[in-house]
Amino acid sequence: MPIQTTEYIWHNGTLIPWADANIHVMSHVVHYGSSVFEGIRCYTQGEEGSPAQGAGIFRLREHMHRFIDSARIYRMPLPYSLDQLCDAVVEVVESNGAAPCYIRPVAFRGYGEIGVNPLKSPVEIYIANFPWGNFMPHHGGADVCVSSWNRLAPNTMPSLAKAGANYMNSQLIRMEAEINGYAEGIALDRNGYLSEGSGENLFLVREGKLYTSPLANSVLNGITRASIIQLARQFGIEVVEQALPRELLYVCDEAFFTGTAAEVSHLRSVDRILIGDGTMGPVTTLLHDEFFGLVNGRKADRFGWLTPVRIKTAEQETVNA
């Protein structure tokens, strides 16, 4: 599906037309994958089926903090503070005026020298957004597999950096899953412990406890993951972050993915073994409903997770059209 465009993209401090946001084929990033990026959602708030009451960006500061961290790991100087980057995201979203949307900040090594050493290639920063809805339309639960590909081994490609190059590994996982008729693949880490999906963190429920792999098992430090852990603890659910054997997937009561794209998506089966009775279990349902209640404004934003943006929402535009 091609991207639905918006009018402006933020580039190194100014808004430029979408069509002008181009780079040279000899840019460093094209050859060596030298980019870091974020994926952020802007949600509309209001009752389902009625016009939206407003729009808010989910955990903007945490996302831009991770963006800065990713750049730091790769020695990419970003000449903007956290506040300036957050303001830039709000500026581009408000200027384009469409919600709900997906926001994509990206920083990369541009057109400079073609050798592997990136230090002589300039760092370019862009922030784009576009209207976006659900990524995983598996309301009955996703059928997933364990991938034959491992996640990035420690001290090879840093998993805590959300770097473009990491997604070559994700692409292998995702393609294999799709070709074999699964919605997604779950990768193991180099030691055979559960890691994560190609673009999602993994949670399992067994006997009322919530399990997820710790950061040392080659996972991205997911912002949805952190949010779900926080919600679970508030509900008094015990959260266990420990290395998890693969076979726990086959004997758990519930399993779900979290991520900006996947949000909270329940898994129906793994390797054709049904998880529980295949339906969304009580713990997943509780966390799923709480998450969507908060982001869609049906529940008060008690953690301050939403940064309000002043825009016409897609629903209002439809009404006005």
Ligand X SMILES: Cc1ncc(COP(=O)(O)O)c(C=O)c1O
Shortest approach of ligand X to residue 21 CB, angstroms? 22
Q: Which is nearer to ligand X, 104 or 109 (CB)?
A: 104
Q: Which of 84, 4, 102 shows the shortest CA–CA distance to 44?
A: 102
Q: 14: which residues sit within 8 A by CB, 6+ positions away? A: none
Shortest approach of ligand X to residue 319 CB, angstroms? 31
Q: Which is nearer to ligand X, 246 or 312 (CB)?
A: 246
* Alpha carbon distance 315, 317 (integer Å): 5
Q: Which is nearer to ligand X, 8 or 58 (CB)?
A: 58
DSSP class of 152 = P
Shortest approach of ligand X to residue 7 CB, angstroms? 25
Token pair 């050859």: residue: 31
Shortest approach of ligand X to residue 171 CB, angstroms? 11
Distances (CA, A) of 163 to 73, 108, 139, 143, 261: 10, 9, 30, 27, 16
Structure tokens at 52: 């939206």
Structure tokens at 193: 């412990």
- Residue 120 CA from chain centroid, whole number: 30
Which residue among 162, 209, 299, 312 is the active-site one?
Answer: 162
Q: Which is nearer to ligand X, 121 or 218 (CB)?
A: 218
Q: Which parts of the chain fold into alpha helices (H)?
A: 28-32, 60-73, 82-96, 166-179, 223-234, 248-251, 282-295, 314-320
Q: Which is nearer to ligand X, 36 or 121 (CB)?
A: 36
- Residue 120 annotated as catalytic: no
Shortest approach of ligand X to residue 64 CB, angstroms? 12
Q: Which of 8, 24, 16, 18 shows the shortest CA–CA distance to 122?
A: 24
Residues that bind ligand X (CB under 6 A): 39, 170, 196, 199-201, 220, 222-225, 258-260
Q: How many CB atoms lie within 10 A of CB 121?
A: 22
Shortest approach of ligand X to residue 166 CB, angstroms? 7
Q: Which is nearer to ligand X, 199 or 276 (CB)?
A: 199
* Alpha carbon distance 105, 85 (integer Å): 9
Active site (catalytic) residues: 162
